[in-house]
Amino acid sequence: PQRTALFALRATQATPTYDASQWADEPALRIGHGFDIHRMLPYGSDEVNGPVTIGGVAFDDFELGIVAHSDGDVVYHSVVDAIFGALTLPDIGQFFPDTDPRWKGAPSGVFMAEAWRQMDARGYRIGNIDVTLIAQAPRMIVKDHPKAEEGKPYDHKLEMVDNIARLLGCPPSRVNVKARTHEKVDSVGEKRAVSCHVVAVLERKP
């Protein structure tokens, strides 16, 4: 009886009304979240579509390849979905469906370019991008890497920051890339997948 009375009360409560003029202008800030995950398998598997590519960095010397319709870049895909979400647009799978042969093996920079175009057309630019990559492997900080400075390990995340900033037309100081393992738990922790979360803040262009 109490629950019935509560439901009846809610049903009779007035629905809020909004003056259209209150919503006429775009907000100063928009916030979106993106997530992606892709499986990894050994080279030679029919499902592998190329090397694991993360944030525009191809890990050609890694023993596993990516399972995806495009190049399977979890960072780029998550960034795109975060921007689309902030703009209240459909998700990346609707923009670039995996049933469309045009996107077979496509570099995810193409998707980033479309996210930038949509953002720019609405009068926004990047406020900041915060990336959390979750991967047991490949490793992001590598000793004795060919690109490393003498006596220092090479940090792939810094290259990813530069790639994201270049594609989205913003200073690198607006982009952050963090990485963590999954403590050997589930498919990510067992090196069977790689995943990523992204939060994007868009700001109105002056």
The predicted-structure confidence for 54-93, as pLDDT tens digits, reads as follows 999 999 999 999 999 999 999 999 999 999 999 999 999 9
Query: Which pTM value belongs to this model?
Result: 0.88
> What secondary structure does DSSP assign to 167-198, as a single string?
HHTS-GGGEEEEEE--TT-HHHHTTSEEEEEE
Q: Which residue has the tokens 């992001």?
A: 140
Q: What integer pLDDT is reported at residue 25 of this predicted model? A: 82
| Cα–Cα distance measured from residue 192 to residue 76, given in angstroms and rounded to the nearest whole number | 19
Taking the CA atoms of 69, 75, 78 and 83 in sequence, report the sign of the dihedral they define. Answer: negative
Per residue in 116-142, pLDDT (tens digit) is 999 999 999 999 999 999 999 999 999
Cα–Cα distance for residue pair 176/188, rounded to 1 Å: 21
Average of pLDDT values for 197-204? 98
* Rounded average pLDDT over 91-98: 93
Question: Treating both helix axes as pointing N-terminal to C-terminal, what angle do 109-121 and 74-86 enclose, rounded to 10 degrees?
Answer: 20
Work out the burial of residue 16: count CB atoms within 10 Å of its CB; fewer than 13 is exposed, 13-18 middle, 19 or more buried. exposed
The pLDDT, as a whole number, for residue 183 is: 96
Identity of residue 108: S
* C-beta separation of 118 from 126 below 8 A: no
